[in-house]
Each structure stands twice: as C-alpha cells, then as structure tokens.
Amino acid sequence: MEAAFSELKSRLGKLTDLRRMEALLVWDMQVFMPPGGVPTRAAQLGTLEEIVHAHMVDDRFGELFEELEPYAASLAYDSDDASLIRVAQRDWERARRVPADLAVEFAKVAAESYEVWVTAREDSDFAPFRPWLERVVDLRRQYIECFAPYDDPYDVLLEDYEPGMRTSEIREIFAVLAPELQSLVAEQATEEEDPFLDGPFPIGAQEALSRELVEAMGATWDQFRLDPTVHPFEITFGLGDIRLTTRYSESELNSLFTAMHETGHGLYEWGVSKTLERTPLAAGVSATLHESQSRLWENVVGRSLPFWRWFYPRVQETFPGRLGDVSLEQFHRAVNRVRRSFVRVDADETSYGLHVILRFELEEELLSGRLAVADLPDAWNTRFEELMGIPVPNDAVGVLQDAHWSGGGFGYFPTYLLGTVLSIQIWERARAAIPGIDEQIERGEFGELHHWLRENIYSLGRKLTPAETIERVVGGPIDPQPYLAYLRDKFELFATV
C-alpha cells in the first residue's frame, strides 16, 4: 500500500510539473513574448499538451486507485491522503473522456486565437477574430460531446471551473440578482462627473502604489511578481512562485483596484498548505472561491472607507496636482459611484453583475447553437443596451473587451458574480471572528484578516469540493441576499453623508 501511494504521488508530482510548465508558456505569451512568436508557441503548447494528456490518462493510475481504495476508506475524509486519492481519481476519469487529438488541437488554437484577439481589440474590429472564435466554439462543442449524455451542455464546461454546480442553479441565483441589480442601477446610477479621477496619473507612480498595496496585503516579492499585460490575470507556477499581472492607463486609477483583485487570487494560491505542493490539491478549489477572494480584497476591503482613510493620503501625496484639494469623502464616493459603463473590469460593484449575466446568457446560446458567432456583436450590443441602458460605441469596449473567449474559457464568467456574492458571506464570517477589523484596516493592518482567510479557505486547496468548502466557511450555500443588503447599506451610508 505504501509503495502504491508513493508511486501515485510521484506520478502526480510529475503531472503537476508539466501543467505548470504549460502555465509558464502561457504567462510568457501574454506578458513578454513578441507577436511573431505565436506560431512556434502554439506548436510548443500543443506538444506539451500531448505529453500532459498521455500522462493524465495513463491506465496505471486506474490500477493505483483500485489498489489504494482500502487505504483511502480507512482515512478521515478530509485528510491529505484521502483527498489526494479522491480528487486525482476524479481528474483522471474526466481526462479519459477527452481524445488526445482534441486536447492538443484546442491548446494550439487557443494560443493562436489569443494573439488575433489582441489585435482585433486594438483595432476594434470583430471580423478578423470571428473565424477564430468560430473554431474555438466548435472545439468546445466537441469537448462537451465527450461527456454525453448530459442534462445541459453548459454543465460540462461549468464542471471545469465549478465542480458540482449546475447551470440551473446559476439561473436561479441570477434570476434573483438581475432585476434587483437593474433596479439599483436605475435608482443609483449617476452621470455626475468626478474630473479629478481623469488623470493624468503617471504610470510609474501607479506601479509604485500598486506594489505598496500588494505588499500591504501580505505578499512578498521573493515569491510574487507584478507585470503589465493586455488583460490582467494571476497564474501560479508553485506555492512560492505567484505571478500577478495588471494594466495601467494614465487617464485613470483603476490599476489600484486591479492590483488588489489579482493579489486576492495570488494570496489564495500562496496560502495553500505546503503539504499539498506538487499535487492536484495545490490550487484553489474553484473559480467561484477564487473570485470571492479577488472581489473581497478589491471591493469589500478596497472600496471601504476604513481602507481609504489609511491609503488615500499616500495617493494624494503621489498625485498632488490632481488630488491634493480633493477630500477623502469626495474620493471615496467617487470610487464607489454607480455608473453605466462599458467595460466589466472597470465597473462599479452594482453594475458589475449585469456585465456577467450578459456574458453567461450569450455563452449558453453560443454553445447550444441558438446564437451564431457571426451574430454575436449585434446580440451583445442589443442585450447590453437593454441591461445597462446605454448603446455600445464599438467592439473594443463591447464584444472584444475580455480575453476569455479567445482561449475557450466558456463557463468561467458566471463565477465572477457568484464569487462576488460569496465574498459578502465570507466577509460577514470574518468580521464576526475578528474584533476591530475596521480599525485594523484603517491602520493598514491586514494580517489578521489574511490569517483568518488562510486558515479557513486558502490552506484547504482542493481537499474538499466547492460546495463542502463553502458550507464549512459560511455555514450554507451561496445566497444573494447578503450581497444585495450590502449594496443597499452602502447606498444608505452615502445618502447620510
């Protein structure tokens, strides 16, 4: 039994190494690689995916799982070893449903499609990207068929990001949120200008402030990096090698919130128990849990009044020409205003959910065949105006604004809103557990919050299912009501100021 488990860990360690090598190639492609490297990089990713897939589906895993079944049954359900066997077997069984040639082709097409998307977004022209997206959608449909029969095609892709959740559950949650968010946007959205937020804000100074925030939240530069890219993301090469990315614009300060968002992702990965390193458990358990952390640090902490009581003097000091005469109250209100805006990643907390619901609905229709890729821009523009009440001026801030579809990331978008909702439930538990948390934040002290999150969420990695993790942390399933109450309370606060 000991020999079998040792072999399993060795095989899984090598597989984890290979997956992280793939991640390294993707990170380099999106951060440093010149555009001319795309064809070669696509071939490299295809070759590596072929090797990874062969390791993942090896029959020897099945023999080891069968041999280790009595051992796993003798352990506590949430022990490291039992969890490793259970999760690895689930991943193996799922991988074996997918033909190697499909996995390899998808890896190549996703790499090539990304660079086409970058150029199309720069040119605000969907046409060159259309054939690539059609190919990506076709490959995703082929992938879905590997798991037939299924209740809903979207369930298959959702399982890759939020194991155990079904599309019907998302529809129920979003059915509660959509009318409430539309009503709140209609009630609270303003066209009032805050010209002091329009810059110029030199990029070097923004980067220095962003790095201060990353450090304050608990990250260390011997184990983190922060680099610019087109569409920000976080990626992990090891529990001591966390890569954050961001983007800067001299005309705005959204980079500060982006830094906090991506650091939230990074802290989650960094906080996984070191006993799980080089195993499939050494990662966040789901996209929703991941987004709950990025949104908690970005918004619940990062848009709060205690936070800006601490950090606003530093921002004023850095940009005295733009913010020197702007009061804390003015600035805090400005970064919390509800505005009808085009770009999801820059949206306020209230309208943000409508952006996500739009994408979820379009993804469902694309994958089911009810919407053709050729009709996607018109469908986007029509639905967006219905939801947000403003017409979309061009493709760059419309259908081309996110990178996810170029890489076939269908199924991820709903987790942004699910994670946002869950972040409030987690915050309520953290507040109850940490007396004086607001005062700590006002002093720029985040250690206790970080420790609580690490102990209760981060350290678990993938040992439990997403539903089990959520139940353990907040005592129940995802509930939209605390999030809606949080938004209403914030509006009442501003109404009394």
List, in order of start, the domains of the chain with CATH numbers: 2-149 (no CATH), 167-496 (1.10.1370.30)
Structure tokens at 450: 């970080």
pLDDT classification of 493: cutoffs 50, 70, 90: confident
> What is the rounded CA–CA span in Å between residue 138 and residue 109?
11
Tell me the β-bridge partners of 224: 242
> What is the rounded CA–CA span in Å between residue 351 and residue 488?
13
Q: Residue 444: left (phi > 0), alpha (psi -120 to 50), or beta?
A: left
- The catalytically annotated residue of 262, 291, 298, 349 is 262
> What is the rounded CA–CA span in Å between residue 305 and residue 300?
10
Contact between residue 156 and residue 144 where contact means Cβ atoms under 8 Å apart: yes
> What is the rounded CA–CA span in Å between residue 124 and residue 396?
4
> What is the rounded CA–CA span in Å between residue 391 and residue 397?
11
Contact between residue 296 and residue 426 where contact means Cβ atoms under 8 Å apart: yes
Q: Which of 101, 158, 115, 109 is nearest to 137 (CA)?
A: 109
pLDDT digits (tens, 9 = 90+) for 462-475: 999 999 999 999 99
Residue 200: asked if its preceding bond is cis (omega within 30°), the reply is: yes
pLDDT digits (tens, 9 = 90+) for 81-106: 999 999 999 999 999 999 999 999 99
pLDDT score of 497: 57
Q: By percentage, how much of the chain surpasses pLDDT 70?
A: 100
Query: What CA–CA distances, in Å, run from 341 to 50, 127, 261, 440?
Result: 42, 24, 19, 33
Instruction: Write the single-letter amino acid at 216.
Output: A
Scanning the structure block, which residue is given the tokens 């001591």?
Answer: 240
Mean pLDDT of 175-196: 94
Contact between residue 431 and residue 486 where contact means Cβ atoms under 8 Å apart: no
Q: Indicate the SS3 state at residue 241.
A: strand
pLDDT digits (tens, 9 = 90+) for 375-434: 999 999 999 999 999 999 999 999 999 999 999 999 999 999 999 999 999 999 999 999
- Number of helices (H) and strands (E) in the chain: give both, helices first: 21, 3
Query: What is the DSSP track for 280-341?
Result: TTSS-S-HHHHHHHHHIIIIIITTSHHHHHHHHHHHHHH-HHHHTT--HHHHHHHTT-----
Tell me the β-bridge partners of 227: 245
Contact between residue 438 and residue 432 where contact means Cβ atoms under 8 Å apart: no
Classify the C-alpha dihedral 143-146-147-149 as positive or negative: positive
Check if 2 is active-site: no
pLDDT digits (tens, 9 = 90+) for 317-335: 999 999 999 999 999 999 9
pLDDT classification of 495: cutoffs 50, 70, 90: confident
Report the Cα–Cα distance between both ends of the chain, in Å, rounded: 66
Classify the C-alpha dihedral 325-305-337-247 as positive or negative: positive
Does 156 have pLDDT greater than 70? Answer: yes
Does 1 have pLDDT greater than 90? Answer: no
Count of C-beta atoms within a 10 Å radius of residue 322: 18
Tell me the β-bridge partners of 242: 224, 236
pLDDT digits (tens, 9 = 90+) for 375-386: 999 999 999 999
Structure tokens at 47: 């070759």
374 HSE (CA, 13 A, CB side)? 0
Helix or strand holding residue 70 (H, E): helix 59-73
pLDDT digits (tens, 9 = 90+) for 245-298: 999 999 999 999 999 999 999 999 999 999 999 999 999 999 999 999 999 999
Contacts of 455 (CB under 8 A, 6+ apart): none
Contact between residue 180 and residue 484 where contact means Cβ atoms under 8 Å apart: yes
Q: Which of 359, 364, 369 is nearest to 399 (CA)?
A: 359
Does 494 have pLDDT greater than 90? Answer: no
Average pLDDT, the chain: 97
Q: Which of 433, 440, 416 is nearest to 474 (CA)?
A: 433
pLDDT digits (tens, 9 = 90+) for 330-379: 999 999 999 999 999 989 999 999 999 999 999 999 999 999 999 999 99
pLDDT score of 163: 97
Contact between residue 459 and residue 276 where contact means Cβ atoms under 8 Å apart: no
pLDDT score of 192: 87
Instruction: Write the single-letter amino acid at 170.
Output: I
pLDDT score of 351: 96
